[in-house]
Chains A and B, each alone.
Chain A
Amino acid sequence: MKIIAASAHQKGNESQNILELPNDANPLALDLAGVVRIDLHFPKFSDGRAFSQARLLRGRLKFTGEIRATGDVLIDQLVQMARCGFDVAVLREGVDLADAQRQFDRFSAFYQGDATHPLPHFREAA
């Protein structure tokens, strides 16, 4: 997962084939033809709707472009985001990137299937 600072994040627009999706929108209703990037939004880190949106974009619609997490993003949610299909996250200024990286180095596998490992642990192990 690529982590970028807020200052390096630039909002896109439709002419660049970048979609910005509010977190109450239904991703299944989107026309994804030509879209290269979708920005999903966390108005508060505790509002988890964008996790489901990313999960549907990857698992259901097989979207292969970039999914970017914007808004109130905690480093403790990065692994969870990556597992739901986000590949870029915008962190606010001042966050220690070493703290963020360490979260990726901890768990080597999880129980559920996810965007990176579609099958659950019990089916992969079998």
Chain B
Amino acid sequence: MYQYTAFDQQFIRLRSQQFRDQLERWQAGKLAEDEFRPLRLQNGWYVQRYAPMLRVAVPYGELSSTQLRVLARVAREYDQPDATLLAEAQATQEKLGDIPLHDGRRIGTKLKYGYGHFTTRTNVQFNWIPLTKAADVMDLLASANLHGIQTSGNCIRNINSDALAGIAEDEIADPRPFCEILRQWSTLHPEFAFLPRKFKISINGAREDRAALGWYDVGLQLVKDDAGALGFKVRVGGGMGRTPTISPVLREFLPWNQLMNYLEAVIRVYNRYGRRDNSWKARIKILVKAEGQAYIDQVDEEFRQIVEVEGGPHTITQAELDRVTACFQEPAIDLSPSDAEAETLALLRTAGGEDSEFGRWVHRNVLPHRQPQLRAVVLSFKRLGYAPGDATAEQMEAAADLADRFSAGELRVTHEQNLVLPWVRRDQLPELWKAARALGLAKPNIGLLTDMIACPGGDFCALANARSLPIAEAITERYQDLDELFDLGEIDLHISGCINSCGHHHSGHIGILGVDKDGKEWYQITLGGADGSHLSGPASPGKIIGPSFSAAEVPGVIEALLTTYRNLRQELPDHSQGPKYETFIDTVRRVGIDPFKAAANAVRLPSDAVSA
């Protein structure tokens, strides 16, 4: 992991002091509410439906066990609503009603506290910390080099990357040094703190796009040119929201050392021309779409002048790249064969199929590593009784212990709201599996239907039109049978409580979007969205399958869609390990959405049952 220098550490502590200064002036009435708002947002503090929300940055998803323990402390000591507030909030949420399941049970809101929530942009959120304690929390976080810098606001946000960065088998180059260099460059950038709208950057170093590059304001793919030189393929102007847009490529090859000079041009032109009259049209995607080549020409000219007139002050030096890269050296792991190895290999061979619990876990939750003796292991935070991506203080501490025992003290937060242990010795897999299973974190569902993405939705978020979590829970309840889950295969199910798309519904093979109709919760369903991974195919937004469904209808609709898939899917020619079928997304692409639409419409409820 990146090793914070004295300068880096001091910087975070000073930022925390600055926030305390702002908070105190706001409390003293010296800073008006609307003046304090963007300042607290740029430190990760929102005001939500019932309480503030804190979003802590996990830059490019990398987390140490020490940091995770501090996050656990925040959950335990500060994510604690007072009893009256919690009771009022719970009562208000219950008025929104329950979702009936087939077996007669009903799923409603169960507000929880004392936990952290992993987000699609690899941050960690807390929902119940009073603003009066905000500065104390920031000080505690700063003690472990954690902060909320630019996790919200109209500025350059936390940088994202591939959860397997630096360990993937298919890597062209390690993106983490560039992520860190960009983290530093974007932190308190004086010119770009009040942009027209938020600005998100993602970097991928592997052949497979695991960083949803097409969906970002800027997506950077590490590439090598014919001569073997390293650079970036630069995409600009993607985004979700009301206008889902896949970014065009602005540069096929930008030399790596020009990264900041070029981004400065990209963002400066956006800062000047991006719309400020309508926040729904203020993202860079709208500017790039509206101006097209004219925007690109301006960026090129600005970049030329930055380099030629100003001498490219932010050209990355080889020395700086080397310094930062050195921080990402392999951890010292004893790779000498242990006695357990032969035994483990035998176990892995027998478990190679999917016919044992351990085998299923190895199949779904264990990922290849560029170092053949190592594996990356996903701890599943998608299990019954918890919202997707939620971890209690105890679970975070336990995961930190696992990281210390099995993964050189390092973890990654994933885009799919799980944790990865990136440095696990192959021969320790059985031991890790037993430990993770005892903690309830070994559900072998990674990549399957129940490994769904969901935002906090209308249970917490002030922007949401509808709740996400009861929908997620209803679907999770329905699909507990592992045989059925494995039979359905890999499916990206993404749920957002509103069009802001924090649950990335646009890129789900199945997307569920909360909409508001006459004060009631309805859900629009899309099919065929893709994040850009190998499984999903080129990034694209899903297609809406018709008028929205009531909350009560959603579980039945999902079941109808999956049944339709099972009826229509084709068997693949490879029979070596039993029958195999094309994936859900491939079937949707092959047959189109009409049969799915018909199946979904067939399970609509009579209108009097909808509001029940």
**Residues of A bordering B, CB below 8 Å:** 24, 26, 45-49, 51-52, 55-56, 59-60, 74, 76-77, 79-81, 83-84, 96, 99, 102-103, 106-107, 109-114, 118-123, 125-126
Contact = CB atoms under 8 A, between A and B. Distances in A.
Given A111-B188, A113-B314, A122-B317, 19 more contacts: A45-B35, A47-B194, A48-B195, A52-B271, A55-B190, A55-B191, A74-B35, A76-B39, A106-B17, A106-B21, A107-B18, A109-B7, A110-B190, A111-B185, A112-B188, A112-B189, A114-B190, A119-B313, A120-B313
Interface in B165-197: 184-185, 187-195
Contacts of A59: 310
Contacts of B320: 122-123, 126
A92 B314 CA distance: 35
B195 A120 contact: no
Contacts of B39: 76
A120 B190 contact: no
19 contacts: A45-B38, A48-B154, A48-B271, A49-B271, A55-B190, A60-B309, A76-B22, A77-B193, A79-B190, A99-B21, A103-B18, A107-B11, A109-B7, A112-B185, A112-B189, A114-B190, A120-B185, A122-B320, A126-B320
Contacts of A55: 190-191, 268
B45 to A, nearest CB: 14
A110 B271 contact: no
Nearest to A76: B39
Contacts of A76: 22, 31, 35, 39
Interface of B: 7, 11, 14, 17-18, 21-22, 25, 30-31, 35, 38-39, 154, 184-185, 187-195, 260, 268, 271-272, 276, 305, 309-310, 313-314, 317, 319-320, 323
B310 A121 contact: no
Given A46-B154, A49-B272, A111-B187, A123 B11 contact: no
Given A99-B25, A126-B319, A46 B184 contact: no
Contact of A111 (B184, B305, B313): B184
Contacts of B191: 48, 51-52, 55, 84
Contact of B194 (A48, A106, A119): A48
Contacts of A52: 191, 268, 271-272
Contacts of B17: 106
Contacts of B305: 60
Contact of B190 (A74, A83, A103): A83
A111 B317 CA distance: 14
Contacts, number: 103
Nearest to B315: A123
Contacts of A45: 35, 38, 194
B7 A120 contact: no
Nearest to A120: B314
A114 B190 CA distance: 8
A111 B187 CA distance: 7
A84 B191 CA distance: 6
Contacts of A51: 190-194, 271
Contacts of A119: 313
A81 B14 CA distance: 19
Nearest to B271: A52
A123 B317 contact: yes
Given A48-B195, A76-B39, A120-B314, A110 B188 contact: yes
A107 B14 contact: yes
Nearest to A48: B194
Contacts of B154: 46, 48
Contacts of B268: 52, 55-56
A108 to B, nearest CB: 9
Contacts of B271: 48-49, 51-52
A62 B473 CA distance: 60
A55 B35 CA distance: 24
- Per CB-CB distance, the 10 closest pairs between chain A and chain B, nearest first, are A48-B194, A83-B190, A122-B320, A111-B184, A113-B313, A80-B190, A51-B191, A52-B271, A55-B191, A84-B190
Contacts of B38: 45-46
Nearest to A23: B272
Contacts of A47: 194, 276
Contacts of A110: 188, 190
Contacts of B18: 103, 106-107
A106 B317 CA distance: 28
Contacts of B190: 51, 55, 79-81, 83-84, 110, 112, 114
Contacts of B313: 113, 118-120, 123
Contacts of B185: 111-112, 120
Contacts of B35: 45, 74, 76
B317 A126 contact: yes
A119 B501 CA distance: 38
Contacts of A114: 190
Contacts of A122: 184, 317, 320, 323
A34 B35 CA distance: 37
B271 to A, nearest CB: 5
Contacts of A49: 271-272
B14 A106 contact: yes
Nearest to B22: A76
Nearest to B8: A111
A45 B303 CA distance: 27
A118 B315 CA distance: 12
Contacts of A48: 154, 191-195, 271
Contacts of A103: 18, 21
B21 A102 contact: yes
A95 to B, nearest CB: 8
A121 B194 contact: no
A121 B195 contact: no
A107 B272 CA distance: 28
Contact of A96 (B22, B30, B189, B260): B30
Nearest to A110: B188
B41 to A, nearest CB: 10
